[in-house]
A and B are shown apart, each in its own frame.
Chain A
Amino acid sequence: MTGARRQTARGAALATVALLGGMIPGAQAASGVQEIDTELAYTCDFPRGEQPVKVGITAKIPESALPGQAVQPEDVVMDVTLPEGAFAASADPAATVSAEMTLSVDVAQKGQEARAEWIGRTADPAPVPSEGELVLRTSGAVPYVAPGAPGDLSLKAAGLTAVLTTRTAEGAPTEPATTDLVCVLDAGQDPALAAVDVAGGTTSPPPSPSPSAEWPGEDEEGGREGEEPAPDAPEVGTRVQESGAADAPPCAGDPDDQLNMVAYVTGYANVAKLDGASRFPLACAQISQGPSWLDFTDPGFMHLYQDSTVDLRYQGKPQLPPSQGTFLTFGFMPTTATLEMTQIPEGTRPDGTRIPNIKSDLAISLADFSSRSVTTITMELMLRLRDVEVNGVPLDVGDDCRTSRPFTLTVKGLGTRSSAGILEGYTLATGGQLTGSVSLPPFSGCGVDEDLDNLFTASLSGAPGLVKQVQGAPCAAAQGSGSAAFCTSGYEPVDVPVPTR
């Protein structure tokens, strides 16, 4: 990451008036969501010859977006219908099949094209029926698309490839163990999946986060933010970038500290009172991995517990980068403020070790080695408002306009790993989505000539709001080549998450 790029990024962040931070909701409404629901016919080259394959595609995608804003398809499900006898050419009878489908999606805007790959995997191997068709349900995270300019953004289905992995009734791999299919879209169909209206402007409307405290069944993990989009070409995001995003704050890890990790965090928060959502600015988290231990007291499971400590870090202070927020005072007056979210770091124990605020519990089944993980992150925070303007007129709130007491943000990340090794949801190594809720306490110290506490308390404090954070994969700077995929050459995290609703 270069100094010049950081400078540019900071300038851009300040100029983005409605790029919201902290807990403050935006004035703009969340954009609508359209549902993709289509079925397409393909012809695939099975070992015994060409066969017809139907592919049903469902997904949710925003109806509209702004230039540069990530358009993230979510809840992508691809149902693939294989013809009877698809595995008849195998030497061994196939009893179960699992699939990895890769659908090429052509993304076009004003004649500029890019191609995205939507990859879906079966959650569990499906039994192969003795007769009739076989429907395989696949799902997975897909890359976001960032339109570079205003204008309709279209998504069209193109080619499809599949890797089918078959096993015998005894669970042994068949011979051959995998079948690779290359499929072409049959002629005479409309391959359009969706059209997204990209309006002018450069700001991001804040979508509302949806609650999620369930075990991962659908992959809602955030896409990954990339470099600034080219002026006119839609940009297709990838899950891992070569370097951090342009608006990522500095976040270097310590290559001399064996237990140090750094990760980027972002997300959305709801303030239920105002029926809106706001985006957390992309922030740097410094993590110190604490002790791990095994526990066998839960019958049938081995628990691996790990306690660690996370501190926000911005210019040497434990806080989120200051961000500009817009909200309504008196219920109707558009008000902007600079928001400073400061963490009150966890203390130390008598022996000098930090009190952990990341607690993870990996429960590994002794029967089939599948596992579930719960990661709980707790932060004590204070929110300060400064540089307030009401309807464009500066309002002097003083230097000490903040929540009257610290408040606790607790978020949980849930993840699973199947006995076949398939991961879903949050993992310690990749991060992912963490959800929870928070209530802002009343404000105090606001106003110089008059007491403005009630103004902000009435607008912002009280009813709990949902928080949906996305944490990127941590960079463990001291691990050298072992963690090279996660760290830039400057020991910053490679993975820059984008917030998901």
Chain B
Amino acid sequence: MRNTLKKFAMAAGAATAAVALASPTALAGIAAPTWTVGPTSPASFSATADTVTLNLNGIPMTCTSSAAAGTMASAAGSTNVQVGAIAPLTWSGCTSPFGPVSPTANTSTSWKLMANTYSAGVTNGYINGVKASLTVLTCTFTVEGQVAATYTNSTGRLAVSNNSTRKLTVTTASAGCAGIAAVGNNPTYTASYLAVTPAGGTVKPTIVYTP
């Protein structure tokens, strides 16, 4: 699927280039590849997830809920196109084998929802600029990086997880983390957010790619 899309994108790009070479003035009449956010753009959105998990070196942390808000906007481009900004994001009801924990998302620079590939109402992409910290007893560590994200228009679900490309990495760890978390570790984060627009509304937002 991804290969087909890539080929298609490349073919479209080649065609555009050919047209551009032939007649630069004709460009205005040809739609550039666009990611269109609906039903309105730009728009605010909010999202909630019921159960989220973070697993670090086999040590599990789960939260009973997570909430996020941000903005979405249509944008031109074909891959690695930002269609949303996430800030703030919170977790609640989080526990670990050590006891309750309170992870904190650092969204002072908003996290970016990036679109990459599209098929039949499903957008694959990632969230960039993820940054969060967690303290349990004398251990405080920070994770930064990316999570893979899949958004499905029909359900309004944004599923996030980690894979070999989209990774979170422990970037700082206090002395008390020795044996628990070390710089360079790759925790995995899994959650499924239900999105609505505008923030607090009832409408499932849509993301559609037009080549």
Contact = CB atoms under 8 A, between A and B. Distances in A.
A427 B175 contact: no
A291 B177 CA distance: 9
Interface in A451-501: 474, 476, 478-483, 485
A259 B178 CA distance: 11
Interface string A177-217: 11000000000000000000000000000000000000000
Contacts, number: 100
A293 interface: yes
Interface residues of B, number: 35
Contact of B137 (A294, A302, A428, A480): A428
Nearest to B93: A421
B201 interface: no
Given A294-B179, A366-B58, A371 B97 contact: yes
Contacts of A34: none
Interface in A289-306: 289, 291-294, 302, 304, 306
Contact of B135 (A165, A415, A482): A482
B176 interface: yes
Nearest to B48: A177
Given A165-B50, A366-B58, A485-B102, A429 B136 contact: yes
Interface of B: 50-51, 55, 57-60, 62-64, 93-102, 104, 133-138, 140, 174-176, 178-180, 192
21 contacts: A178-B50, A258-B176, A259-B138, A259-B175, A294-B58, A302-B58, A304-B59, A364-B97, A369-B60, A371-B97, A417-B97, A420-B62, A421-B93, A421-B94, A421-B95, A423-B95, A423-B99, A430-B99, A430-B100, A476-B176, A482-B140
Given A364-B97, A417-B96, 12 more contacts: A173-B50, A259-B175, A261-B138, A289-B137, A304-B180, A362-B97, A366-B58, A369-B60, A420-B51, A420-B62, A474-B137, A476-B176
Interface of A: 165, 173, 177-178, 258-261, 289, 291-294, 302, 304, 306, 362, 364, 366, 369, 371, 373, 415, 417, 420-423, 427-430, 474, 476, 478-483, 485
Top 8 nearest A-B pairs (CB, nearest first) are A482-B135, A429-B99, A427-B99, A292-B179, A421-B62, A369-B60, A258-B175, A371-B97
